[in-house]
């Protein structure tokens, strides 16, 4: 009898249902509410620059990813398919591969027909700076360079993550 009441109690609580889908919730991190750190990295197109240099004054989604990650593949495919719509909303997507070499990343992007170049952090120097605990990790940075949200999956309502 106690188990039945416990079962009914737990499944009647909306917060339990929300916690069951943690990937859709914003992640708590010391970055939220603070300026996004920046770092200079090489890109798959052969250039090097600061990761956030091309997105000054624009809303930015920084996607930390890896070629071996199936969830990253889904998020990159979705971003790639929606590039025009994302650009029309004034949002700049920025890709940062973590822990792999430039050739491996460039080949993966070509095979998957991803239109964006990616920064390549072969030595994983961004992990501490961005408090990464896994990939994918997505940072939502507003026009002023402030981190507004961090998630581990591209949400369908991603525009709301800039101003939670």
Residue 153 lies in a domain: yes
What's the pLDDT tens digit per position in 6-19? 333 333 333 333 33
Residue 98 lies in a domain: yes
What pLDDT, on a 0 to 100 scale, did the predictor assign at position 146? 96
Residue 31 lies in a domain: yes
* Structural domain boundaries enclosing 65: 24-162
pLDDT at 132 over 60: yes
| CA 69 vs CA 72, 75, 97, 142: distances in Å | 5, 10, 11, 27
Q: Identify the CATH number of the domain in which residue 45 sits.
A: 3.40.30.10
The total of structural domains in the chain comes to: 1
Please count the CA atoms within 13 angstroms of the CA of 56 that sit on its side-chain side: 4
| Residue found by looking up tokens 């719509």 in the block | 85
Residue 3 lies in a domain: no
Residue 115 lies in a domain: yes
Q: pTM for the complete prediction?
A: 0.83
For the residues 47-52, what does the mean pLDDT come to? 96
């Amino acid at each position: 009898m106690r188990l039945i009441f416990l079962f009914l109690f737990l499944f009647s609580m909306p917060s339990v249902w929300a916690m069951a889908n943690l990937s859709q919730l914003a992640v708590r991190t010391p970055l939220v509410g603070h300026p996004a750190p920046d770092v200079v990295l090489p890109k798959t197109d052969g250039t090097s620059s600061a990761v956030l240099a091309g997105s000054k004054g624009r809303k930015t989604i920084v996607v930390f990813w890896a070629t071996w990650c199936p969830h990253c593949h889904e998020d990159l495919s979705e971003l790639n398919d929606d590039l025009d719509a994302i650009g029309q909303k004034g949002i700049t997507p920025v890709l940062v591969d973590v822990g792999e070499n430039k050739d491996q990343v460039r080949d993966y992007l070509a095979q998957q027909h991803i239109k964006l170049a990616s920064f390549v952090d072969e030595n994983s120097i961004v992990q501490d700076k961005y408090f990464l605990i896994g990939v994918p990790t997505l940072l939502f940075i507003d026009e002023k360079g402030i981190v507004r949200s961090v998630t581990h999956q591209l949400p369908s309502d991603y525009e709301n993550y800039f101003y939670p």
